[in-house]
Each structure stands twice: as C-alpha cells, then as structure tokens.
Structure 1
C-alpha cells in the first residue's frame, strides 16, 4: 500500500509538470507552491491532498478483493505514530521558521492537541473514503473520487486563507522571518 500511496503523489506531480490534468486539490497545492505562504502552510497543503484524497484511494485499491478490516488496525496505528512525531516536526520547522512558536502562543499551547485532533479527523475522513471507494464498482469510483477531491479542495482553501484575521496576520509575520532558500530549508529540516 505504501508504494501505491507514494505513487499517487509522484504521479500527480509528474502529470502536473507535463501540463496534464490532476485532481483539484493537488492542482491547488501545486499552483500555490510559489505563493508567499508559511512553510507550514505549504506542508499542510501537500499533506491535505495526500492524506485526505490519496490515502483513501490507495488503501481501497490495495484492498480490492480483500477484507478491508484486515488493514484497519494498521491504518489506525499510524495516528499514534503521527502524533508522537508532532513535537519533533515542530522542532525541525522552528529551524527554518523561527516565529512558528507564535502559533503556540495563539493556540495557548494547545496546538499539539489541535494537530492530533486534526490529523485523526483527516485520517478518519480518509478511512471513510477508503470504505466508500472499496465498496463501489469501478464505474462509480471516478465520480466519488471527484466529490471527495472537491471537499479536500475546500480544506486546502482554508489552509491557504484562514478565516481568522488574527491568524492571517500572525502567519504573515511568521513568513517574513522564515528561511526562503528551498535548498537551505531542506538541509535544515533533514539535520539531526
């Protein structure tokens, strides 16, 4: 399943670079890659499309003809793993986004709970999509995927432009002090 899951991103990226059509949520992410967003927003746009759209598609395809409950425990175990790396992810992001802590202050240090809740909700939605796609005939899947994609696109729009003016101003402030060189960002994020 992990290869099928990874390939959905790779395929979307390659198709986009060739000028071919991709899902609306991936298109939105790719089209906003050069927008002046925070590094976290860029990461969240990719995570949004990959988890909320691709994961359900990959899981349903992998389990086609098999009992879906066989993978449910593994699917849910990933939630705990993701939550356990939240602090490490924040530490690494602070290397390239030194004012990211402002979101902690704004969230009154509840951001880990919010991230965990959001990730669990996203993965629950992905599991719901998996169940739907797994149960459908092949002829019904494209329409269902298109509908899921539109929901994922709406979340992407919210990630890009939060409705809260305060959060919008804080994000602009965070962005102004972030590392801008992509190569440096990758190097600093990879460093142990």
Structure 2
C-alpha cells in the first residue's frame, strides 16, 4: 500500500473489488465504478489545491470510502445499503448508481464528517466555516463528474431509451440533488454531534438509518428514479430530538 497517498490506496482497493466482482453481483459494478472515478476526481482536486484544508479533505474522503467498502465487503451492512445492494439486477444502471449514492450520502456522509471533526472543532467557528466551505467545494468536483458519468453510461450502452431522452434533465437534476443533499448532510452532522455530546448518538444514528432506508425504499418503487427525486428530493433530515 502507498501510505503517502491514502486516496490512491483507497482507489486501488476499489479497483481490486471491481476486478473480482462475481457475476451474481455484477449490478454493483455501476455504482462501484462511478465511485472509483469520483474518488479519483477528488484526489486530483486536492492535488490542484482546490480546498482550504487538503489534508482534512483527504482524511474525510478516505473515511467516507471506508464506510462503503465495509458495507460492500459485508463487514457492516446497514439497512440503506442492504436495500441498495439487493435491488433487482434488471433495474437500469442509472438507478443502481442513484441508489448507491443515496445510501452513501444520506447515511454514511454525516458519519464520515463527524469522524474527522472533533467536539472541540465544533466550538471553533472559524474552523467550522472552513470545514463547511470545503464540504461545499466537493459539490463542484461532483458536478463536473455528472456529464462525464452520463457519458460513461452512454458509451457502455447501458442506458435505456428513456434515459437517453431524459439525459439533459438528468444532468441538471443530478447537480441540484447534490446541492440539496449536502445541505441536509451538514444539518444531520450537527444533529449527530449534539447527540454525541449528550450520549444519545446511537439512538440518533439509528433514526438516520431508518430515514435513509426509507428513502432508498421509496426510490425502489416502479418508475423513473430521477423524476421521483425531483418530487421528493434527494436527502433526508433528522428531526429535532
């Protein structure tokens, strides 16, 4: 392993899982390949000094990826991931990608942020402003990937006729969903941090798991996933305790 480049290491681990993915899990390839390329894009953005605190973004991105790898490997498979992984193989590739993104962003991302932001950090408003700005800068990196990932699906022949017709809508909607979900993720991170302080973290995380699973279950209902997201939104919001 390349200890001097944690993102390169986690990308290599994703590639290894992609290379050995058995036929019965072939439908996982769509999200895994997309996530691999996205993680590479974040690594390039770090190298190009697009973040205020690149070391923190690197630690956060690797922690985030670890949660997915644990779920993929069956080490810890929370309900949002079980639903996404068990989705019918016959679903369009875009649907598998969106289900994975939904489970990962709504459930895993607040945990990843909290893992790299201490309680003392939350008391430092200047530092938290920097953290939030870097959190929002990820949107720019991901938005740049939307068109490229749409092209990847088109090149593979994996898009349906409906997906091709909706392609411009898909690209615009995906970028809006990214912004919306990240705002909710930040709210949920703050809720979990308050729970960490008052000893109710496990209870609140369980609530987030239920909300995230319900969102994935909703997206599994018949019909166009993106059109349903346009109505119901992408993210989930922890209510007050």
User: 2:210 is matched with which residue: 150, 159, 165?
Assistant: 150
Residue ranges of structure 1 left out of the alignment (5+ in a row): 169-192
Query: For residues 52 and 71 of structure 1, what CA distance do their matches in structure 2 show?
Result: 18
Please name the residue that 1:140 is paired with.
200
Q: 1:69 Cα shift?
A: 3.1
How large is the RMSD of aligned CA atoms in angstroms? Answer: 2.2
The answer on whether the counterparts of 1:60 and 1:130 sit within 8 Å (CA) in structure 2 is yes
Please name the residue that 1:177 is paired with.
none
User: 2:176 is matched with which residue: 110, 113, 117?
Assistant: 117
Query: For residues 40 and 52 of structure 1, what CA distance do their matches in structure 2 show?
Result: 18
The answer on whether the counterparts of 1:63 and 1:134 sit within 8 Å (CA) in structure 2 is no
User: 1:15 is matched with which residue: 56, 64, 74?
Assistant: 74
Quickly say closer, same or farther: Cα 1:87–1:70, change in 2 above 3 A: same
**Matches for 1:6-155 after TM superposition, within 5 Å:** 6-15=65-74, 22-32=77-87, 35-65=89-119, 66-67=121-122, 68-97=128-157, 99-100=159-160, 102-106=162-166, 109-137=168-196, 139-155=199-215
Which secondary structure does the structure 2 equivalent of 1:35 belong to?
A: coil
Q: 1:5 Cα shift?
A: 0.9
TM-score (norm 2): 0.59
Query: For residues 10 and 98 of structure 1, what CA distance do their matches in structure 2 show?
Result: 24
Query: For residues 98 and 36 of structure 1, what CA distance do their matches in structure 2 show?
Result: 11
Query: For residues 90 and 100 of structure 1, what CA distance do their matches in structure 2 show?
Result: 12
Query: For residues 93 and 106 of structure 1, what CA distance do their matches in structure 2 show?
Result: 13
Q: 1:36 Cα shift?
A: 1.4
Report how many aligned residue pairs link the two structures.
Answer: 159
Query: For residues 85 and 3 of structure 1, what CA distance do their matches in structure 2 show?
Result: 19
